[in-house]
Structure 1
Amino acid sequence: MPRRVLHFLICVVEILCINLLCAQSFHMNNCVEKERKALLKFKEALILERDKLNSWKGEECCKWEGISCDNLTHHVTNLDLNAKIFGGKLDSSICELQHLTSLNLCYNNLEGKIPKCIGSLGELIELDLSGNNLNSVIPPSLSNLSNLQTLNLGYNDHMIAYDLEWLSHLSNLSYLDLSNVNLTLVIDWLSSINKIPSLTELYLSGCGLHQVTPKSIPQLNISISLKSLNLGHNSLTSSILPWVINVSKVLTHLDLSSNFLQQSIPYDFENMIFLQYLDLSYNELQGRIPNYFRNMCQLQELYLNTNKLSGQFSYNIQQLCCAQNGLVVLDLSNNSFNEGTIPDFSCFSSLKELYLGSLNIFGTLPKSLIHLHSLVSLYLVDNKLNGVDIIDDGSLSIISILDLSFNQLNGSLPLFEITKLKSLETLDLSHNQLSGSFSQTIGHLSNLMALDLSSNKLNGVINEAILSNLSKLTLLDVTQNSISFNLSSDWVPPFELNTLHASSCTLGPKFPIWLKHFEDLEDLDISYSGISDSFPEWFWNRSSSLLYLNVSHNKINGALPKSFPSINNRFAWERVWDFRFNDLNGSLPRFPELRALFLSNNMFTGSLSLFCTSSFQSLTFLDLSSNLLGGKLSDCWKNFESLKVLNLAKNNLSGKIPNSFGTLEQIESIHLNNNKFCGEIPPLTLCSNLRLIDFGDNSLQGTIPLWIGHYLPQLTVLRVRGNKFQGNIPASLCNLSFLQVLDLSKNNITGEIPQCFSNIVALTNLKFPRNNFHYFSYISFFIEHEEYEFGSFYDKEILALKGSNREYEKNLGLMTSIDLSCNHLTGEIPQSITKLVALVGLNLSWNNLTGLIPSNIGHMKMLESLDLSRNHLYGRMPTSFSNLTFLSSMNLSFNNLEGKIPQSTQLESFDSSTYLGNSGLCGSPLGNHCLGDMISPKHVTNEDEDEDKLITFGFYISLWLGFFVGFWGVCGTLVIKTSWRHVYFQFFNNMSDWIHVTLVVFVIRMKKVFQVQDNNS
């Protein structure tokens, strides 16, 4: 009986289990309705592209992309949408997911604030919001997340924290990353970190941490067991080292790069014997690598680059002997080691990456280095190597990346040596002195993926035979060579290029048809390539992948398409297109989202109306200058929120300047010159980053705005010449400390020149830091550790100097000039203007200025161009003119100057027209002589005789004055002073008696002498 009962009970249990499993299976994918609605509300706040999160529909939310649920309760426990590249905001509906244990939304484009209610998610173990654009203060409510083990808020560049005290409540926290979060206002951050005993990984890179003082270093909590510490890219000094060294005895990863560590590497590091990763790069460390590095036997990666380390190269390498079997990465680039040759690295059996750039290494690349047993990457950038030494059989080498750029390799392309390295995937020989033709032996490098031979002296032809074996090639750069591409129109490349740079090579005159086979082409530079064709239709079908396109300086004709295909790249907002200096025509099309667009020096017509309907939130650089564009500008510029440089110069644009220009808070440079704009300048008070304003040669009117001097502190160039401005020069311009170029010429400005111009620091201080107008519109990365910068350009400006208009580009940031010519200025030239010792050009011509030329004008020793013509200046030219040794252009004509022109080689070299219209001037180089310089020709025989002649008009005057002073100085005194007169005559009486007696005695003696001689005879 009991056995039957037992069997019965077992059957009942089995039936119940089956029913339970069936029920669980039936309900397994059913999520909680409240949480499903919260997820949908969260999705509504996101900005999604096309098919993103398409699975988020229906009732089964546990099957949605990125969602995980608990198998029993069906609550959402995991939300992982990392790197899905969506925008929008982090909606507070996320707080409805009360059972979340992991929330990962990293590397998207989320904006706005972190909801305070996120602190209510008490079951959270992992929170990762890194790599977004969140711009809030870190909510202190995060302190409620007592179960949190991982917190990553790093790389939200606009996030800030005022204190870190809330961290002390996260007792289970083991991983903390606040990299690039603004912590500049956090004072006691060290104490806050010390209160997290479970912390093993800490990342505070780029947080703006400042120098700490010994008093601010807290008592250490010995329970802290950090293994990874990153404090790189801050402003820390060596005072942080005691805390770093003592905070943990088990550190394996330490990054203190890009700080202000000075002097030698401290000896306290000798106890860090567990270090596997050490980065001290980009500091100011001096001396040699210390001896105690011999104890760091577990080192795998060591970065000491960009310091001031010195001593013998070989000695420093010997200090790493204990790690020679485990060291994988070594970077010693950019230091000051003594030896100029590469030491022996043969004992480093595990070395995979070696960086020895900028070490002044000369000679040839030794074969021993190429054939290190495990070396994969070798970087010898910026040295003085002139050759490569590779043994006959290079097949034993596994090196895949070889960078010898910026050296002195010369002669023919050394591919006969390098092509023996069969494993090469990346070869960079750019910026050398290689010559000769492009060799077919390059095809032997069948594994080659990236080849950079730019900026050499190579010539010859690239044909199909050379490229036929390079099936893995993705990058080819032959820029700045004399190479011609000879590829047939029906040639099908065996590779898929991602980057092609062939600027200054010959690809034309026809547009290269073989480009149509590169469906994934992102970077294309075929500028200066001799193309005089139109764009084929297929090219624009391929444009959806193009991020960087440069076809400038060709003769490409025809019109652009009316629209472009949507881009299929996640970095569409970084796209740069450059069409400058071609023969393109027609109206402007509707462009896709771009970072930079250059269309200058073409023949485009029509208006800019389509620009207002395009999506240009990311547009940073826009150059439409030197075209035939017309009409009025629409008031839609508030949509261009990222714009830095705007150039609409040299068109036929008219009407008023739109008020919405004043909303361009990021703008740095505006060129509207040589158009037909009218009205007044709209207020640009929000454009505090402006460095250059050029509204010249229009029909603008009104007065020079006062707000320019109050709200534009960075202004360097102000050019409004050729307009109809009236009124005085506002004294507020003197507040512009950075002002280097001021051009108010050809207006109707009245009043006097402000005395306060001497307050402009950039014009009074020769040591003032001057920055050029250099921009990078596009940066591309193609392999790890190497950064390739494309789209570099200089802003430019036309300045009137030395009597002509000249365009300044690379040197614009160095120019200093003031041009107030062709106005109605009155009064005198202020003496204070001579304090502008950094001024190169000064033009005050065609005004109504009076008075004298400032006597201290010679203090302006940097002057190269001076024009004071067509005024009413009078008086003599100051003698200090002779101190202006750099002066190469001067015009003082048509004034009322008089007197002698100061003598100096510089002044005498000018043409007589320089002084025309000043009837009172005399001397060289004028034909008339000054009074006192007139010498009769018959008395002048040669230069030596003229120099020795004493009897001149000045001599007679001096003689007469000397006689007058001497005579009356003596005789007048004797007449007035009776006592002096008695003494004077008594002196002469005594003197006459003495002379008489002396003569008598002398005569008597002589007589006696003659008598003796007569007696002897």
Structure 2
Amino acid sequence: MRNPCIWCCLVLLTLVVCDSCLHEERKHLMDICDAFLWPAGNPPDWSSRDCCRWERVTCSSITGRVTALDLDAAYPSWYGLLNCSMFLPFRELQNLSLGNAGIAGCMPGAGFEVWSNLRQLEILDLSENELNDSSIMPLVGLASLRSPFLGGNAIKNDFIVQRLSKMKLDILDLSWNGIFGNISRAVCNMTSLRELHLNGNFFFGVLPSCIRNLTFLRVLDLSNNLLTARFPTISFANMTLLEQLSLSHNQLEGLLLLNSFSNHLQLKYLRLSSNSASFQVQTENPEANVSSQLQVLELSNCNLNANSGVVPSFLSHQHGLYLIDVSNNNLSGHFPTWLLENNIYLSYLSVKHNSFVGSLILPSTVNQNLSWLDASYNRLSGDLPVDINITFPNLSYLNLSKNFFQGIFPSAVSHLENLSTLDLSYNNISGEITASFPTTMSMNHLVLNDNNISGEIPTSICTNVNLGVVDFSNNKLTGSIPNCIASNHLFFILNLRGNHLTGSIPTGLSSLLNLQFLDLSKNYLSGPLPSLPNLTYLHLSENELNGTFPLVWPFGANLKTMDLRYNQFSGAIPRCIDETFPELRILLLKGNMFEGMVPNQVCLLT
């Protein structure tokens, strides 16, 4: 017969574990909820009795204690100062996320050092906050910590790497902090590291050769620094477990044979673009034997195959890529449509700054994933594809500028509902813009300058409420500037230079408080100048504008460039010009009807 006391104990234990987490921890969770300002003002749903089922809370299935707590984007209510003591009751806490929480430091006596009592805390996310060197330093005393995520803070001293290197870490993320200095050789002692993220800083000097000791690395990201890495090198030969290697946007030098990564069977991400002209990647001699199926490949500005124009042949065996960047390599031949056909998940393709010729031939099948296509600065010609919206229905960025495309403005772009950036500048595109103008509401950059586009500026430009940049300069547009343009308050660049526009400048432009750059030069505009309060750059030359010199009331104090040449402005140049435009760098008044003396205050525009 079973002992009834044993059954009673089992029932009680079940109630403790399953009927909400420990009462003490539940109470402290409610205190935390009150101490934070939650995203969009909506605290998580912590109303049920069982707090182990609450949003952002994870508990142990054995003890019922809290093991993980996600407070991402939840701001401490006390001016961004964190009271670390409030987490001490969670004795089994293993994973704490406080990313993007606006934390600027800790309350006195309640800094990160108190977490040394949390003896199971291994994963700590403090990324995207405002923490500096002194506030971060106590983390070194947390013996259990294995994965600190500290990216996107205000850490500046390279000494932090040396201090953290004394810990037994699996992951170290110090990306995008602005750390200035050399990478300490002490980092080579962290032989248990699986991920090292030092990208987005100001590390300089030669990459330590001892980094080859980190043979367990899966991820190594040193991109966007000032480092010098010289090839050939054995630094990465033993890192055969690497899944991601990013050295892009550094000073890479010498010759890298891509075949040297033939033993890296797990490699998925490879980024090798260089800021230096003395770096070369060779994929053909010897032919690269990349056994792994890559997902991300960046080989920008690396004198690919000695600028022979040869597209890497190993790419014909790659079928899982979703990002390809082979820009600025002088590659030649026809547009590599086969890259799109081979990689059906491709979402980003950049082949800009090469020498591809012929028509832009699209793949025969629809690609739902492609969102970014940049083939600018090539020698492509012919008509733009009329069915680009069908082949790539989800494009958000399309840049075909600086080619030799011709034909009428493509109506297909008006059907790209997700398109936010369109740049067709410096081609030979013609026809009327009105019929095929994109009316998609997501557009924010529309650049069509230096073509032969005609017709009136379509009023549908006013319905693109997200437009911030419009450049129609050096075309053949006629008619007047539509008054409704003032309804788009996000405009910060408006360039209509070099057209055949007539009429006056809409007075409604004075309400565009974000407008920084306005160029209406080389048109047939007349009448006075409206109020333009926040401009930084004003270009109005070669029109028929009149009135007196624009004084303080229409303009702000931020103006740096004023070009009023060849108009019909009259009157005197004001003596208060130095006070009105303290930031003025360029002042061009030639070819008007100004009279009187040039005031001495012009000399104060230093």
Pick the TM interval, shorter chain: 0.7 to 0.9
Give the structure 1 partner of residue 440 of structure 2: 664
Structure 2: 5+ residue stretches without partners: 1-18, 21-26, 58-63
The higher relative CO (CA closer than 8 Å, separation ≥ 6) is in 2
Is 1:547 aligned to residue 309 of structure 2?
Answer: no
- Tell me which of 719, 724, 749 is aligned to 2:500: 724
Give the structure 2 partner of residue 836 of structure 1: 556
In structure 1, what residue type is equivalent to 2:171?
S
- Tell me which of 217, 222, 238 is aligned to 1:444: 238
1:446 and 1:403 mapped to 2: Cα distance? Answer: 18
- Tell me which of 483, 498, 506 is aligned to 1:706: 483
Is 1:281 aligned to residue 99 of structure 2?
Answer: yes
Is 1:209 aligned to residue 9 of structure 2?
Answer: no
Contact 1:364 1:388 in 2 (8 A): no
2:298 and 2:577 mapped to 1: Cα distance? Answer: 52
In structure 2, what residue type is equivalent to 1:428?
D
- Tell me which of 327, 331, 334 is aligned to 1:531: 331
Give the structure 1 partner of residue 185 of structure 2: 388
Q: 1:636 to 1:302 in 2, by over 3 A?
A: closer
Q: 1:468 to 1:619 in 2, by over 3 A?
A: closer
In structure 2, what residue type is equivalent to 1:840?
K
What's the offset of the Cα at 1:707? 0.9
- Tell me which of 481, 489, 511 is aligned to 1:735: 511
Q: 1:206 to 1:524 in 2, by over 3 A?
A: farther
Is 1:475 aligned to residue 308 of structure 2?
Answer: no
Is 1:427 aligned to residue 220 of structure 2?
Answer: yes
Give the structure 2 partner of residue 879 of structure 1: 600
Is 1:493 aligned to residue 290 of structure 2?
Answer: yes
Alignment of 1:739-758 (within 5 A): 739-754=515-530, 756-757=531-532
1:258 and 1:390 mapped to 2: Cα distance? Answer: 31
Q: 1:466 to 1:278 in 2, by over 3 A?
A: closer
Q: 1:580 to 1:884 in 2, by over 3 A?
A: same
Alignment of 1:987-998 (within 5 A): none
2:137 and 2:586 mapped to 1: Cα distance? Answer: 55
2:113 and 2:446 mapped to 1: Cα distance? Answer: 57
2:39 and 2:448 mapped to 1: Cα distance? Answer: 40
Give the structure 2 partner of residue 869 of structure 1: 590
Alignment of 1:521-600 (within 5 A): 521-534=321-334, 539=339, 541-561=341-361, 563-567=363-367, 572-584=368-380
What's the offset of the Cα at 1:884? 1.0
Percent identity, please. 28
Give the structure 1 partner of residue 131 of structure 2: 308
Give the structure 2 partner of residue 609 of structure 1: 386
Give the structure 2 partner of residue 998 of structure 1: none
More helix by share: 1
Contact 1:489 1:514 in 2 (8 A): no
2:537 and 2:241 mapped to 1: Cα distance? Answer: 56
1:404 and 1:536 mapped to 2: Cα distance? Answer: 34
In structure 2, what residue type is equivalent to 1:433?
L
In structure 2, what residue type is equivalent to 1:259?
A
1:302 and 1:540 mapped to 2: Cα distance? Answer: 40
SS in 2 for 1:642: coil
- Tell me which of 217, 222, 227 is aligned to 2:52: 227
SS in 2 for 1:227: helix
SS in 1 for 2:603: helix
Is 1:513 aligned to residue 233 of structure 2?
Answer: no
Is 1:503 aligned to residue 309 of structure 2?
Answer: no
Q: 1:648 to 1:365 in 2, by over 3 A?
A: same
Q: 1:205 to 1:664 in 2, by over 3 A?
A: farther
In structure 1, what residue type is equivalent to 2:40?
G
1:629 and 1:875 mapped to 2: Cα distance? Answer: 51
What's the offset of the Cα at 1:206? 7.7
Give the structure 2 partner of residue 823 of structure 1: 543
| Aligned pairs, number | 551
Deviations 1:680-734 (A, max 9, x none): 222133112111222223333322221112x111111222223333222221111
Contact 1:553 1:582 in 2 (8 A): yes
SS in 2 for 1:663: coil
2:258 and 2:477 mapped to 1: Cα distance? Answer: 59
Is 1:259 aligned to residue 74 of structure 2?
Answer: yes
2:153 and 2:255 mapped to 1: Cα distance? Answer: 40
1:695 and 1:642 mapped to 2: Cα distance? Answer: 21
What's the offset of the Cα at 1:449? 2.7
Contact 1:499 1:522 in 2 (8 A): yes
* TM-score normalised by the chain length of structure 2: 0.78
Alignment of 1:74-223 (within 5 A): 208-209=40-41
Q: 1:646 to 1:205 in 2, by over 3 A?
A: farther
What's the offset of the Cα at 1:737? 1.0
What's the offset of the Cα at 1:624? 3.0
Contact 2:226 2:250 in 1 (8 A): yes
* TM-score normalised by the chain length of structure 1: 0.48
Structure 1: 5+ residue stretches without partners: 1-172, 175-193, 213-219, 233-248, 337-357, 585-603, 764-815, 886-1017
In structure 2, what residue type is equivalent to 1:410?
G
Q: 1:512 to 1:857 in 2, by over 3 A?
A: same
1:660 and 1:486 mapped to 2: Cα distance? Answer: 43
1:869 and 1:680 mapped to 2: Cα distance? Answer: 30
Deviations 1:914-945 (A, max 9, x none): xxxxxxxxxxxxxxxxxxxxxxxxxxxxxxxx
What's the offset of the Cα at 1:504? 1.9
What's the offset of the Cα at 1:742? 1.9
Contact 2:257 2:286 in 1 (8 A): no
In structure 2, what residue type is equivalent to 1:257?
D
Q: 1:388 to 1:706 in 2, by over 3 A?
A: same
Contact 1:609 1:633 in 2 (8 A): no
In structure 1, what residue type is equivalent to 2:356?
I
Q: 1:868 to 1:824 in 2, by over 3 A?
A: same
- Aligned-residue Cα RMSD (Å) equals 4.0
SS in 1 for 2:463: coil
Q: 1:620 to 1:826 in 2, by over 3 A?
A: same
Deviations 1:312-336 (A, max 9, x none): 7665544x5xxx45x5544456667
Q: 1:606 to 1:637 in 2, by over 3 A?
A: closer
1:386 and 1:310 mapped to 2: Cα distance? Answer: 16
Q: 1:536 to 1:563 in 2, by over 3 A?
A: closer
Deviations 1:357-413 (A, max 9, x none): x4623287589747x3xx43233545444332489xx8x9543323344464633x5
Contact 1:505 1:529 in 2 (8 A): yes
Q: 1:469 to 1:727 in 2, by over 3 A?
A: closer
Give the structure 2 partner of residue 979 of structure 1: none
Q: 1:677 to 1:207 in 2, by over 3 A?
A: same
1:826 and 1:842 mapped to 2: Cα distance? Answer: 15
What's the offset of the Cα at 1:880? 1.8
SS in 1 for 2:522: coil
Give the structure 1 partner of residue 13 of structure 2: none
What's the offset of the Cα at 1:492? 3.8
Contact 1:753 1:829 in 2 (8 A): no
In structure 2, what residue type is equivalent to 1:447?
L
